[in-house]
Amino acid sequence: ANNYQEEIGSLLGKIKSPVIAGFLISKINRATDLGHTLILNSESQLPDSGSEDQVATLITTLGNLIENALEALGPEPGGEISVTLHYRHGWLHCEVNDDGPGIAPDKIDHIFDKGVSTKGSER
C-alpha cells in the first residue's frame, strides 16, 4: 500500500489536472487488474488546463491509446505500458508504448488511413 501511495503522490506531482490524474490512476488500476503494469514516465509533466474541451479530448485520446495497448498485450500477464506526457511551448507531446507484438509490417504504411484496423475486419 505504501508503494502505491508513493506512486500516486508522484503522479499528482507531475499531472496538475485532477481530472487527468484521476483518469490515469484508473488506467493504472485497470492494467494492474489485467496483470500488466502501466507507468507514467518519470519525466512527464502536464500543467492544469482551464479548458474542459482540452481535458475531454486528452482523456479520449489517451484512453484509446491505453486500451489499444492493453488489448495488444493480450491476456498473458506481465506486459508493460509506459505513458509520457510533455507540455512545451503550448504543445502537448503524448507517447504510449507497450511491449506487445507490434504492428505487422504490411499495415504500418496504412495505420492512419481511415477505416484501417489491425484488429480484423469486424472492428
**pTM of the complete model:** 0.85
Q: How far is CA 65 from CA 13, 60, 91, in A?
A: 23, 9, 18
Tens-place pLDDT, residues 32-85: 999 999 999 999 999 998 789 999 999 999 999 999 999 999 999 999 999 999
Q: Which residues contact 77 (CB under 8 A, 6 or more apart)?
A: 34, 35, 36
User: Cα dihedral angle (52, 40, 69, 87), rounded to 10 degrees?
Assistant: 50
With residue 19 as reference, give the H or E element that holds it. helix 18-33
- The answer on pLDDT for 123 being more than 60 is no
Q: Compute the distance between CA of residue 13 and CA of residue 64 in angstroms, rounded to an integer.
A: 24
pLDDT at residue 55 in the model: 93
- Could you tell me the domains of the chain? 2-108 (3.30.565.10)
